[in-house]
Amino acid sequence: MDNQDFLKVVSCSFRKFLETGSRSNEKLKILHGKIAEDLKKRLGGEYDVHSLGIGNGQEDNIEGRYIDKKVDITILKNRKVIAGIGVKFVMQNYSQNSNNYFENMLGETANIRCANTPYFQIFIIPDKVPYYDNNGKLKKWETFSEHNSQKYLTLSKDNTETSIHTPNKTLLFVIHLPDIKCSVDDKEEYVRYYSDLGSLRVREAACSYGDFEDAVIFNDYELFIQKVVHRILSI
């Protein structure tokens, strides 16, 4: 997959989210499965890749330093898990969980990398995210801003050889969904609007969000997956 193929997969995953809701894992089967399939093709026959949506359709556990962790995508050689990729696609209510997402990512990365297993992360988010109350009413629109990206800019400066809490490589992908051209008051209307669109084209966000250094790749799936493959082949 190149960047455009990746955006088409993200679009399909978002459409499945609209159809099945936030509690269903159907959207993950599309997204995780296509990334895993692409990785398998690039790595070749010596390697197996497990995730939802490919092979037996199951996630594997990776042995951690402290606890074992079920991981979105695992890479195996000679039936042994040798690397993992965590994938996060945020579609709503970002601000109340933004620090938790980041802290959890650092914690799970440290747990896995302390057990000498390479670990990578993909974080996908729209540049404009709905925030709902407990009854599904739309309270506000949240913008993924340079303030939100600051922690990823800091992460990008980490030395991944010495900073064991930092993923070997992180992909931050900020997308832009088609603008909503009418008033939307709740989750149901939001879902209906995008479901009724004849063409749901997902694009890269226009904002640059700063100059990222080596540990984080911004809006470039192709470069990220090349780096992942290179690292895995070196094991």
pLDDT at 22: 81
Q: What is the pLDDT at residue 184?
A: 94
- For residue 100, how many other CB atoms are within 10 A of its CB? 9
The amino acid at 45: G
pLDDT for the residue numbered 21? 87
Tell me, what's the pLDDT at 6?
98
73 strand-pairing partners: 85
Tokens 């599309």 label which residue?
Answer: 30
Q: Are 42 and 225 in contact (CB under 8 A)?
A: yes
Per-residue pLDDT of the chain (235 residues; tens, 9 = 90+): 999 999 999 999 999 999 998 888 999 999 999 999 999 999 999 999 999 999 889 999 999 999 999 999 999 999 999 999 999 999 999 988 899 999 999 999 999 999 999 999 999 999 999 999 999 999 999 999 988 999 999 999 999 999 999 999 999 999 999 999 999 999 999 999 999 998 899 999 999 899 999 999 999 999 999 999 999 999 9
How many C-alpha atoms does 53 have within 13 Å on its Cβ side? 19
Q: Name the residue among 138, 198, 149, 203 with its Cα closest to residue 177.
A: 203
Burial 136-150 (b: 16+ CB within 10 A, else e): eebeeebebeeebbe
Instruction: Quote the pLDDT of residue 208.
Output: 85
pLDDT for 96 equals 84
Distance of alpha carbon 14 from alpha carbon 132, whole angstroms: 17
Q: CB-based contacts of 228: which residues, under 8 Å, 6+ apart?
A: 39, 83, 85, 120, 168, 169
DSSP annotation of 59 = P
Q: Assign 131 to helix, strand or coil.
A: strand
C-alpha of 135 from chain center: 27
**176, 206 in Cβ contact below 8 A?**
yes
Residues in contact with 224: Cβ distance below 8 Å, sequence separation at least 6, in sequence order: 120, 122, 169, 171, 217
**Residue 179 CB contacts under 8 Å (≥ 6 apart), including other chains:** none
Element (H, E) at 189: helix 187-196
CA distance 226 to 143: 30
According to DSSP, residue 50 is labeled: E
DSSP per position, 130-145? EEE-TTSBEEEEEE--
Per-residue model confidence (pLDDT) at position 174: 98
